[in-house]
Amino acid sequence: MGSPKTLSTARLTLRAPRRGDEDALFALHSDAEVMRYFSEPPWTDPDRAARQIDDDAAAFERGGFFRFSIVLKETQRMIGNCTLYALHRQNRRAEIGYALQRQHWGKGYMNEALEALLAYAFNDLDLNRLEADIDPRNEASKVCLERLGFIREGFMRERWIVGGEVCDSELYGLLRREWKGAPA
């Protein structure tokens, strides 16, 4: 399938991870508030960022996992990422994940980035279904997903244990035919 093109919105560029993103990636994943509802604890090893970039860039190139770096056009700095993963080609389904640096919360950047990611998933990859698994306490994530048309489809008790804390999970789904960007 090859690697995807760079995606562009009015304020953002979504591209493959690359060297030079290390500081921004570590800042993102080491922030306890950003990672509060993530499926892993905050990073403590700054070298993890370089390893993650190498792993993600290789997966991106293979076409099986796409963690797009979200770059603010105005500054050319990476401010977050959004991911298509667990791709099931036969079933035309994938999961999404996302994270944004705290100083950029509340500005509509994640909604803008995810709109581009959904268009890529449904139009370019010809997927039929996208799924998101979030912590039910993450109100901002719920609002973002619902704004994009995702429907809450399930609740799983004590699904994750992150940093010793047992957490529930809410499952959201979006079908291509229900997507706001779908052709009429």
Delimit the domains of the chain by residue range.
7-129
For residue 1, the model assigns a pLDDT of 42
d(CA 160, CA 38): 10
Comparing C-alpha atoms, which of 39, 124, 94, 34 is closest to residue 70? 34
The predicted pLDDT at position 60 comes to 86
pLDDT of residue 137: 93
Q: 129-153 in b/e burial notation, b at 16+ Cβ within 10 A? A: bbbbbbbeeeeebbebbeebbbeee
Check: CB of residue 109 under 8 Å from CB of residue 12.
yes
C-alpha span between 182 and 89 (Å, rounded) = 20
The low-confidence residues of the chain, meaning pLDDT below 70, are: 1-4, 182-184
How far is residue 119 from each of residues 38, 47, 141, 143, measured CA to CA in Å? 24, 33, 19, 19
Cα gap 68→56, rounded to integer Å: 9
- H or E segment and range at residue 116: helix 109-119
For the domain with range 7-129, which CATH number is right: 3.50.50.60, 3.10.20.30, 3.40.630.30, 1.20.120.80? Answer: 3.40.630.30
**The pLDDT of residue 2:** 44
- pLDDT tens per residue, range 79-124: 999 999 999 999 999 999 999 999 999 999 999 999 999 999 999 9
Positive or negative CA dihedral for 91, 63, 144, 184?
negative
Q: What is the pLDDT of residue 184?
A: 60
| DSSP string of 57-92, one letter each residue | HHHHHHTS-EEEEEEETTTTEEEEEEEEEEEETTTT
